[in-house]
Structure 1
Amino acid sequence: MLTPADATWPNLWLCLAGVGGMYLVKHVFSKKNPAPYPPGPPGRPLIGNLLDMPQVKTWLTFTEWGKKHGDISHIEVLGQHIIVLNSVKTALEMLDKKGSMYSDRPVLPMGGELCGWKNSLALLPYGDRFREYRKNFHRSFGSRAAIDMYHPILEIETHRFLKRVLAKPDQLQAHIRHTAGAIILRISYGYEVIENDDPFVEIADRALDQFSQCVAPSAFMVDNMPFLAKVPEWFPGAGFKRMAREWHKTLEDMATAPYKFVQDQMAAGIAPKSFTSNLLEGRTLSVEEDHVVKWSAASLYAGGADTTVSAVYSIFLAMTLYPDVQKTAQAEIDAVIGPDRLPSFADRHSLPYTEALAKEVHRWNVVAPTAIVHSLSEDDVHDGYYIPKGSLVIPNIWFMLNDPRTYANPSEFNPERFLAKDGKEPETDPRTIGFGFGRRICPGLLFADASVWMSTVTLLAVFNISKVVENGVEITPEVDPLSGIISHPKPFKCSIKPRSAKALELIQQDANY
């Protein structure tokens, strides 16, 4: 199977000569900058900082740049300016307060153009179509009152998740993915998944894995040399073109198949209410309107099918490593809810420690460590530094949520940091950082937060999660997040058992409504 490295680098270095020529011409005839660029690693002739751009766990390299160069770092790769932001203050000043300038997306030759993700909200250029997508999302997910409508779905699908985990605890990751897919498919399209090997869940998993690969910074040479997008597939080193063709088809299938399902259900008069059916109801759509509805739904589907997977998996990791935190939360749940029922959203305001635990999940496991890159639509001078039009701007969210200036002992999983105690104010709510900034902030943040809370409180109500013992040896999982635009905890083993006979009854009771 081709990898990004196999498909990108071989036989392409000769192209650097042409790029070098263009780079020299550009610099000879470029106008004088109104201010210096932000500081950063020194570049090399012709290629700039090409060799400095990290390939894996980019957020760690960006963090080192921040420690050395300050809150704003700058590199230049083959003429492309890249700005890394390493503080919340700077991210808010630039991405929020100057949102009209910093809300565009760059043209990504591999992920956006060749693979087709330019149609999704994640990579959509800033403009009228972007605003239409956001308007559609806001109607369904823009307020807590709107999210309340989805509480029954979250509760019932989380209950079904408990049953799957009870039956096959060794397939935890698969159960989390299945449940995330089940929730978002019901909300997006009114589709109920089948219990095993659901085709819509499977195709979303493939498409989102491919998305994480195809938009990763510097994973494909074509993103640094866009002219390579025009080379034929048979050209030496152009394996990325074949890969992109296959990935484009996966994405198109992911967007089209469930959309057609809703259309067919509506034609038959049996479609349940969903995000898509609400947008289609009583309308005859133009080609543009059809595109907006289809890809709004696909964006919701894509956005909800993978991000919560990372967060929920990390709950199990944290509880395995921090048993005292687990016991404290369970004591609170037992005192408030008791042993005779499962938690519901009506209990949320009565469980402050569990609420803090869910917040800590968002901080400790950073789902999108560097978010998706922003693009600057016009020249800017910020804090005395020149940021040229077209610069790629990357907020290092991982460091912002692990900054010791903001969070005491950031590597430690400690929900109490979010509780006022002994006259000490709670630390910064990670949900104001982890979902991005400005006009590109995640539109489903309220729904994601509700999903993580429901998973947290329900799991802790009925399961004890602990380290696995193999051959008499206790296995301690490693905290080692995997690379990707969406980062997941490294796979690990844990023991998952019902807390009591009564908890077992609650898990096994009917999960329908």
Structure 2
Amino acid sequence: MSTHIVPLLAFCICSWLFCVVASRARSRRYKLPPSVPGLPLIGNILQAPHDGQGPYLKRLGDKYGEMFTLRYGRATWVVLNSKRVVHELLEKRSAIYSSRPKLPMAQAIISRGHRMLLMEYGEAWRSQRRIMHGILGSNKRDIFRPFQETESKALLFHLLESPETWYSLLGRFSNSIIMSVVFGRRTTRNDSSLSEIYKVQEEFVPYMMPGASFVDAFPILANIPFLKGLQFWRRKGDALYERTKGVFQRPIDELRLRIQGGTQKPCFMTEFLASNAHSFSAEEVAFIGGTLIEAGTDTTRTSLLGLIAGTAMYPQWIHRARKELDSVCGPNAERLPTFDDRQDLPMIQAAVKESVRWRPANSQTGIPHCLIVDDEFEGYRFPAGTVFTWNNWGISLSSDFDEAERFNPDRFLGDDIDKVTKGHLGFGAGRRLCVGFGVAANNLFIAIARLVYCFDIEQDRVIPITVDKPFPLDADIEPYKVIIKPRSLAHRELIERECRSAALF
């Protein structure tokens, strides 16, 4: 075994010497924001916590200001801590700040380069972006509305029957919408595939955060062609890739069986397989489907998770929202709110944006951007290849927002209320803005309007909600206790009358 380790050690020593020389040369040419002290060679990689990176970066932002620098081996990360600098760099200069950094663990090993979210600019990214835009873009939102109507009704009825299972019901609601559109089937309450999707995503998301993997600090390690059995990062990444590929492939295989059996409804994937599948490998097709599932599921689930906690902790906004709802739908539960009521429900529109802002979970440190050419900004000179990310958790809870700790939709009432991406960073920034933001916003609008109209949401006084750190992404265990019950007998009867059929499938 010792004779096998010698080449690996020699390779690492040569890499270290190269890093030292390169780092000294770069430091003479460029000027970066204040650096967080770290260790020689590895920089700050041992300082980053595995969980709660958002609060960790917020503490650093409070100390170092609007921008600071972290180093992970050869990788230089600049963290942006205000909406102002995010706007100036990632949005106004998006032409040069919108590629993705090389993340060997998340993209090269765990995803084999197939996840569009992490692709660098290039033909592969453009090709998949066109596909995603074709199904999730603004001109396709109406395709989703019948499914959003149906699944939100099913959500209400299931909550009426089993309020204690509210957490799993949020996941079923959001996942069933995208599964209906993409794969032509709904998600059942105890669907094993849903739990599998959340579990691989729960494992994957942390690898997009700063300093998440040792190999990200030294990308050259990902290309070592020998002694792969000793590369601990590769064993872990390869295992997660195989699990992820299996989870993403399963809906494709099931769809093909339904096609063969003549029971498959027309959907996005039937059209895609008929016309485009020959242009992509089997793995690429699986990841295209899987990426659509991830994009269509997770923002809705985590935002509703924040909405319910925020409403239970800060219920003051509910009174104004219900005044609007009752004026539109009737004070005695005459009918459910619909998309046609949107303009008459500004508090619900504002609550959509506040639910995305308040406690970001899966994007607590933003999705990293990469600068493609040298650039200067306010006395700093950044080299091409610098990684930029926004401290989403820190900005969301900063002085950029009045009483930022409170869940308060009032902050978004105003001229931009119809612009769901304005005023917060929950859907990203610049050219890498989430392509499915319109679908996610509509998911949230119909779910929030109907939940607020029909149910009371309260804290469990025995186990109060705590929100000092991001909610965990665990697929099975609810992150806090909450009590959900119908507003009145009339609202219960409305749900039973209007929603029962949607829940029976």
Q: Is TM more than 0.5 here? A: yes
User: 1:189 touches 1:276 (CA, 8 Å); kept in 2?
Assistant: yes
User: What pairs up with 1:57-456 in 2 under 5 angstroms?
Assistant: 57-116=52-111, 118-143=113-138, 145-196=139-190, 198-229=191-222, 230=224, 232=227, 234-235=229-230, 238-266=231-259, 270-281=263-274, 283=275, 285-288=277-280, 293-338=285-330, 339-367=333-361, 368-404=363-399, 406-420=400-414, 433-456=425-448
Percent identity of the aligned residues? 27
User: Secondary structure of 1:21's partner?
Assistant: helix
CA RMSD of aligned residues (A): 3.2
Deviation at 1:274, TM superposition (A): 2.4
Greater displacement, 503-512 / 18-27: 18-27
Deviation at 1:345, TM superposition (A): 0.9
1:8 equivalent in structure 2:
none
User: Secondary structure of 2:118's partner?
Assistant: coil
User: 2:167 touches 2:478 (CA, 8 Å); kept in 1?
Assistant: no
Question: Which stretches in structure 1 are left out of the alignment for 5+ residues?
Answer: 1-11
Residue type of the alignment partner of 2:439: F
User: Secondary structure of 1:286's partner?
Assistant: helix
Residue type of the alignment partner of 2:492: L
What is the CA deviation profile of residues 430-465 of structure 1, one whole-angstrom value per residue up to 9, with x for unaligned ones?
Answer: 565211112211001011111111111111111111
> Higher helix proportion, which one?
2
User: Secondary structure of 1:81's partner?
Assistant: strand
What is the CA deviation profile of residues 122-155 of structure 1, one whole-angstrom value per residue up to 9, with x for unaligned ones?
Answer: 1122111111222122223222x52122111111
**Matched residues, number:** 488
Residue type of the alignment partner of 2:21: V
Greater displacement, 174-183 / 59-68: 59-68
Q: Distance in 2 between matches of 1:449 and 1:167?
A: 26
Greater displacement, 249-258 / 63-72: 63-72
Residue type of the alignment partner of 1:303: A
Residue type of the alignment partner of 1:162: L
User: 1:481 touches 1:489 (CA, 8 Å); kept in 2?
Assistant: no
What is the CA deviation profile of residues 295-335 of structure 1, one whole-angstrom value per residue up to 9, with x for unaligned ones?
Answer: 33321111222221111122211121123222332232122
CA change 1:493–1:430 in 2 (3 A) is farther
Deviation at 1:56, TM superposition (A): 3.4
User: Secondary structure of 1:26's partner?
Assistant: helix
Deviation at 1:284, TM superposition (A): 6.1
User: Secondary structure of 2:200's partner?
Assistant: helix
Deviation at 1:52, TM superposition (A): 4.4
User: 2:91 touches 2:430 (CA, 8 Å); kept in 1?
Assistant: yes
CA change 1:484–1:320 in 2 (3 A) is closer
1:4 equivalent in structure 2:
none
User: What pairs up with 1:46-65 in 2 under 5 angstroms?
Assistant: 46-65=41-60
What is the CA deviation profile of residues 186-240 of structure 1, one whole-angstrom value per residue up to 9, with x for unaligned ones?
Answer: 12211222332x23312211221121233333233222233544474653xx544
User: 1:35 touches 1:381 (CA, 8 Å); kept in 2?
Assistant: no
TM-score, structure 1 length as denominator?
0.85
User: 1:102 touches 1:376 (CA, 8 Å); kept in 2?
Assistant: yes
User: Secondary structure of 1:149's partner?
Assistant: helix
User: 2:337 touches 2:449 (CA, 8 Å); kept in 1?
Assistant: yes
Question: Which stretches in structure 2 are left out of the alignment for 5+ residues?
Answer: 1-7
TM-score, structure 2 length as denominator?
0.87
User: 1:482 touches 1:489 (CA, 8 Å); kept in 2?
Assistant: no
Q: Distance in 2 between matches of 1:14 and 1:315?
A: 53
1:22 equivalent in structure 2:
18
